[in-house]
Structure formats: structure tokens, C-alpha cells
């Protein structure tokens, strides 16, 4: 029995719609592989002998060794776990500082009325355009006078002062999307600004807070310049600075252990990103309640 005419007419249209979708998927997969190739090459090189890394450019090593990981872990004066701990201390302090200070500043810009509000908001946005190289010298002089060089304070205390304009702007946009009727209902029940902030705004701003935490983790963990400036004592080195000490201009660089410890350094970033990925998407794609 022949199929109905209507069904046969719909089949070509469905195929036409599916064909561009498959084409888009293929293009995206090829693009993803292209971007992941350097990472895959580094992962492959971490299992190669140092003399084979640049002579064998393929992803599959001809000779495999796992010795690069224990060698890299103990190559520096302290084992690599010591530098991971230093980075974690700075990262945790930075995340707490940004979540607390930036959320308070964002609530003020989004919900409070005060003099020159638009002016200060424009000043806050202007700080996003300042490169770190402009402010690093005054910061160094200030922290040197406070005797904070070779401590974690220069890398953590500024986060407690809401110095990251990007996160303030992100949270302001998110809080503005929360209906003000919720604030008015809470105010009728006797809540002040802090109670509204803590009981209404914070629970509804979890996607924005998670986005702030993820970006703070990634940017602080990968920060090399600031940590190199303020931490000159090898005992205080973080992961990026410790990785740099592997490279010696006067002798042969052990590239196998370098790539192995680079993979170890990337693992927390990937783990933290994957754990909060769904909140990251919600925080960027939405601006509050619908």
C-alpha cells in the first residue's frame, strides 16, 4: 500500500531541515577539535620522553613513560602540592571577597537611590577599561609601605573592596531583573535593606554568584603577572609562577615534567568549571526572573 501523498511530500522538507543541522554539527566538531589540539598535544607530550617531544609531533607517542609526573612533582625545592596549596589559598580568599563585596555593591547600584548614582556607576564601568599595568606600580608602592609584599594580602584584600567592575556589572544586571514587588512585600513584613539583600536577592542570584565564582577561580588560578610581582619568595610561589621556574634559559628545560605539571595545574580549573557549568550558562544567559 502506497503511503499517503501528504506524508511523502513532508519527507523532503524534513530532510532539508536535518541536513543543515548535521552540517552545523560537523563544523562545530571540527572547530572544537582544532581548538583542543594544543591541549591534546600537551597531554600526549606529558607521556613522552623529553627528547621525543619535538621530534615526534604526532598525538600518539611512540614511546610512553609516566615518569614525567613524579619527576615534575618533585623537581622544584618544594613538591608541587605546596604551590597548589598556595594557589588555593589565594583563590578561595578571592572568591569569598568577590562574592561578598561585589554583591553588596551591585545591590546598592540596583536597588538603592543615592546622590551621583549614575556618575559612580559610570566610574565603576570605567575601571573595567583600565589595564592592570596602569595600576600595578601604585599598588606595589602602597602594599610595600604596608609591608604586605610576599604575603597573600595584596592578592586577596582588593577583592574585598569590590575592585572587579565586571562582576559588579554582571550582578547589577541580574538583580535588576528580580521583581521589585518581592522587595516591597519583604519591606511590609519589616525587613530592612540587609534582610532583603540576604533573604531575597542572594537566594535568587545563585546563577550570577556561581558565574562570579567560576570566573574568579579561573582568572585568579591562571594569574601570573600579579603573583609574580607581589610574591618573590619561592616559598610563596603559586602554580603559574612555579611552572615558570621550570624554564631555565641557561640550561636544558625538562619539557616532559613541565607538560605533566601543566596538566596537573589544569585539572582543578576543568573540575571547577564542569561542576558549575549549568549555573554559568544560566548566569550569562538570563538577567533575572521571567
- Residue corresponding to grid cell 569590590: 162
pLDDT at 24: 84
Whole-angstrom distance, CA of residue 47 vs CA of residue 29: 26
Cell, residue 258 = 613541565
CA angle, corner 236, sides to 235 and 237, nearest 5?
A: 95
pLDDT at 235: 92
Are the C-beta atoms of 178 and 289 separated by less than 8 Å?
A: yes
Whole-angstrom distance, CA of residue 267 vs CA of residue 254: 21
Are the C-beta atoms of 210 and 280 separated by less than 8 Å?
A: yes
* Mean pLDDT (10-residue bins), the chain, 290 residues: 50 57 85 88 90 82 89 91 95 96 95 91 91 89 94 94 92 90 90 91 90 92 93 92 79 85 91 78 55
Are the C-beta atoms of 246 and 261 separated by less than 8 Å?
A: yes
What distances in angstroms separate CA 109 from CA 54, 56, 81, 162, 236, one per listed residue? Answer: 54, 56, 41, 13, 37
State pTM to two decimals. 0.84
Amino acid at each position: 500500500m502506497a503511503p499517503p501523498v501528504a506524508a511523502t511530500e513532508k519527507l523532503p522538507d524534513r530532510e532539508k531541515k536535518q541536513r543543515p543541522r548535521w552540517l552545523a554539527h560537523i563544523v562545530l566538531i571540527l572547530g572544537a577539535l582544532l581548538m583542543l589540539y594544543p591541549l591534546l598535544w600537551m597531554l600526549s607530550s606529558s607521556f613522552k620522553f623529553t627528547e621525543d617531544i619535538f621530534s615526534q609531533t604526532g598525538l600518539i607517542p611512540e614511546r610512553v613513560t609516566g615518569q614525567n609526573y613524579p619527576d615534575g612533582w618533585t623537581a622544584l625545592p618544594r613538591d608541587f602540592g605546596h604551590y597548589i596549596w598556595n594557589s588555593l589559598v589565594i583563590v578561595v580568599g578571592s572568591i569569598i571577597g568577590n562574592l561578598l563585596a561585589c554583591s553588596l555593591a551591585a545591590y546598592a547600584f540596583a536597588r538603592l537611590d543615592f546622590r551621583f548614582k549614575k556618575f559612580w556607576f559610570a566610574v565603576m564601568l570605567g575601571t573595567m577599561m583600565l589595564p592592570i599595568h596602569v595600576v600595578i606600580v601604585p599598588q606595589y608602592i602602597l602594599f610595600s609601605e604596608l609591608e604586605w609584599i610576599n604575603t597573600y594580602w595584596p592578592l586577596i584584600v582588593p577583592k574585598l573592596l569590590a575592585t572587579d567592575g565586571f562582576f559588579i556589572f554582571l550582578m547589577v544586571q541580574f538583580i535588576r531583573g528580580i521583581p521589585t514587588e518581592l522587595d516591597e512585600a519583604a519591606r511590609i513584613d519589616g525587613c530592612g535593606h540587609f534582610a532583603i539583600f540576604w533573604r531575597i536577592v542572594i537566594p535568587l542570584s545563585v546563577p550570577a554568584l556561581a558565574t562570579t565564582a567560576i570566573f574568579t577561580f579561573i582568572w585568579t588560578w591562571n594569574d601570573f603577572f600579579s603573583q609574580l610581582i607581589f610574591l618573590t619568595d619561592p616559598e610563596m610561589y603559586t602554580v603559574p609562577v612555579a611552572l615558570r621556574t621550570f624554564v631555565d634559559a641557561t640550561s636544558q628545560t625538562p619539557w616532559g615534567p613541565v607538560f605533566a605539571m601543566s596538566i596537573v595545574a589544569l585539572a582543578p580549573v576543568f573540575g571547577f568549571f564542569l561542576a558549575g557549568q549549568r549555573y554559568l550558562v544560566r548566569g550569562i544567559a538570563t538577567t533575572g526572573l521571567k
